[in-house]
Structure 1
Amino acid sequence: MTNPTGSPALAGRRAQAARNDAVILDAARAVFLDDAKAPIAAVAERAGVGISALYRRYAGKEDLLRRLCHDGLRRYVAEAEAALAEPDAWSAFANFLARLVDADVHSLTVRLAGTFTPTEEMGRDAVRAGELTEALVRRAHADGRLRPDVGVHDIPLLLEGCAAIRVPDPERTGQLRRRQLALLLAGLVATAPPLPGPPPVAGEFGRWSRRE
């Protein structure tokens, strides 16, 4: 029975809006993975919505790019927090990386880096992501399983390397990424030979700096 205040209908509209937003974000991810310079109209076309419906949700392309990358950053933070709650340090570390690879969190990092101005909230979440990653690495070092010359800034490079693997078949892409991750993890154990050169340092890649 419909509430006289109209709240069920409102709830229905909100649910539909959430579904439409998910469709737009999925379309945007696919479009910008193919071509970071694609116009926002290509997103509307792929999503099957009018351009006006897209602009009701996002002020422009930069706003949409920010949302995509911030969603990925939030997912990273959530997975890292979950990993720190696991009792076994090495398993938590390895499972954390596997979940991020499976979720394809880093595919847009290099593709979209420098194409938008990050918000202060993104900056705070990025700092939080770094702190959590450092905690995971520190735990794995203390456990004795992670090689001592691996630094916290090696982890994003490892994830981006897995995300760079992409073939037309999504299932095969997932298999190849997991295979690559397994190879990389084998090289991260404490008994592996020393790594060449110093580890990456904070800010060396300038991921979120806007390119002018």
Structure 2
Amino acid sequence: MSAGSEAPSPDGLAGRRRQAAHNDLAILDAAREVFLADPKAPVSAVAKRAGVGISALYRRYPGKEDLLRTLCHDGLLRYVEEAERAVAEPDGWLALSRFLQRVVDADVHSLTVHLAGTFTPTPEMGRDAERAGELATALVERARATGRLRRDAVTQDIGLVLEGCAAIRVPDGERTRQLRRRFLALLIGSLEQDGGDPLPGPPPQAGELNWRWRRQG
């Protein structure tokens, strides 16, 4: 090594890693905003929103589909994380209702509503989706065992509840959160066993909504 050259310092390497992690987070946050507003938006709009160069984006995500897939997989993993947390709660009814509240606040299902069919899921995503389904079933069964969940509610109804809340969106983010929480409270109230009229129509079937995840176009 010549006298004028210097080895990269550990602090310098750590700094570059921190910057790379910051850029990745900025890209994912920007992608979520851009693609929820317009799933057909180009990746250049994501780079502009994130404040990074298009080359920096492509180093992390070779194509738009990779970015969409990462966004949805992250949302799925958040769902699994919240479900695992809920399963550990001792009261079955509170476990289910609080799980729904946390997932709605996390806005996980907006990704499902807006981005399904825009990319090809990976086998890993399929395994995580299966795990999510198992956990949701466990939460429903535990809530039913308390006697508070209406008898004709099924696991697949939970997905409809979450997607219904995700469909609520106004320009103001805080107002969106307030309206979703209000709607969710109404839905949770309707899930309680009250001896009222039975739910109309046959219940949703396992996998009935999965057609949306087939790659379109």
TM range (shorter): over 0.9
1:46 alignment partner in structure 2: 49
1:109 alignment partner in structure 2: 112
Which of 139, 163, 167 pairs up with 1:164? 167
Contact 2:113/2:167 (8 A) holds in 1: no
Which of 112, 115, 119 pairs up with 2:122? 119
Q: What is the TM-score of this pair, normalised by structure 2?
A: 0.93
CA deviation vs aligned residue, 1:132-169 (integer Å, no higher than 9, x gap): 00000010011111111111111111101001111111
Distance 2:107 2:179 in 1: 13
- Which has the higher Rg, Structure 1 or Structure 2? 2
Distance 2:51 2:19 in 1: 14
Which of 199, 209, 212 pairs up with 2:214? 209
Which of 136, 142, 149 pairs up with 1:146? 149
Amino acid at match of 1:193: D
Let me know the Cα RMSD of the aligned residues: 1.2
Q: Size of the alignment, in residue pairs?
A: 209
Distance 1:40 1:17 in 2: 18
Identity of aligned residues (%): 71
Distance 1:8 1:77 in 2: 36
Q: What is the TM-score of this pair, normalised by structure 1?
A: 0.95
Which of 67, 86, 104 pairs up with 2:70? 67
Distance 2:201 2:135 in 1: 25
1:181 alignment partner in structure 2: 184
SS in 2 for 1:187: helix
Structure 1: where are the runs of 5+ without partners? none
Structure 2: where are the runs of 5+ without partners? 1-6
Distance 1:201 1:43 in 2: 36
Distance 1:5 1:84 in 2: 47
SS in 1 for 2:120: coil
Aligned structure 1 segments of 4 or more residues deviating by more than 6 angstroms: none
Q: How big is the shift at 1:7?
A: 2.9
Q: How big is the shift at 1:100?
A: 0.5
Distance 2:10 2:207 in 1: 49
1:14 aligns with 2:14: no
CA deviation vs aligned residue, 1:74-125 (integer Å, no higher than 9, x gap): 0000000000000011111000000001111111102110110101110000
1:34 alignment partner in structure 2: 37
1:195 alignment partner in structure 2: 199
Amino acid at match of 1:43: V
Distance 2:78 2:26 in 1: 18
